[in-house]
Amino acid sequence: MPRGLAVLFALSACTGAPAPAPEAGDVPARRIVSQTILADEVLWALGPAAQARVVGVSALADDPRYSGVAGVWPPATPRRALTSEGLLALEPDLAIIASFTSPEVRELLTSHGVRLLEFTSFTGFADYRAHVRRLAAVVEDAPAGERLLADLDARLARLAARRPAAPLAAISWGDGHAAAGGTSFDDIAEAAGLSNLAKEKGLEGHVPLALELMVSWDPPVIVIGCPAPEPDDPACPAAEAAVAALPGVRATAAARSGRIVAVPGRALASTGEGMARAAEILQDRLLAERP
């Protein structure tokens, strides 16, 4: 996408997509249990009125490897895994689940009169916008949701304004898998001003990709996750060095130019605000290393 069009796209994104059609789980709720990290993050970001309706958050809410709100929810807010006794004891009228929630848990909750709000798609910024609007609807604070999205769009506009004229091709790779088309990394890469090499190769989704094949593509940028909350944590350069030491990787364009880039896992794997953070980290790092 030409740079000017990218800026216009980012600036118009907040009005370009209509709000999602209401679903059964979107009826306002007073006692909400979150069972996804994304909902933990968004419900906190929506502000005090939304937070007051939350009677429980997910068991991973405080894990800094994955959660953007680690240590933020008050200790008095129960952390609950998907166990029947723990959830039902909170007497929720709404549980926020995901497409991977087991049928047994769904049946248990619905049989006890708990409504379900299900997140089914996590492929990028469009899905995040839909999730924010749904959660804003159930806490009856649509303006708070639009404020979150306006902040996102401002960040995307800043990223678009700094996009390089000639984008580098990047691959997000780890543990023998790559993030190709139709993934959150695809949106992260575009926002940062990169092209997704795995998508260019015709791949879709999160796909197995052998190290040998990845090396044969000679990627200009290799993006990896690191188990740290911030990019300046020593764990990130250590992760970069570990990948650079893998057979064949040191000969790639990415290694030769110092463009094996570790991004904190909670940003790189995020399906929420962390996607913008991942794009900012990538852009800052790669722009700083260009002549």
**CA distance linking residue 109 with residue 278, whole number of Å:** 35
pLDDT tens-digit readout, 26-62: 789 999 999 999 999 999 999 999 999 999 999 999 9
What CATH number does the domain located at 162-289 have? 3.40.50.1980
Determine the pLDDT at residue 262: 97
- pTM (predicted TM-score): 0.88
Determine the pLDDT at residue 289: 63
Fold of the domain built from segment(s) 3-156: Rossmann fold (3.40.50)
Residues 6 or more apart from 241 whose CB is under 8 A from it?
none
3-state helix, strand, coil in the chain (%, to 5): 45, 15, 35
Stretches in the chain below the pLDDT threshold 50: 1-19, 291
Retrieve residue 20's tokens: 């999602």
pLDDT tens-digit readout, 225-240: 999 989 999 999 999 9
**CA distance linking residue 124 with residue 129, whole number of Å:** 9
Determine the pLDDT at residue 143: 98
Give CATH 3.40.50.1980 domain extents, the chain. 3-156, 162-289
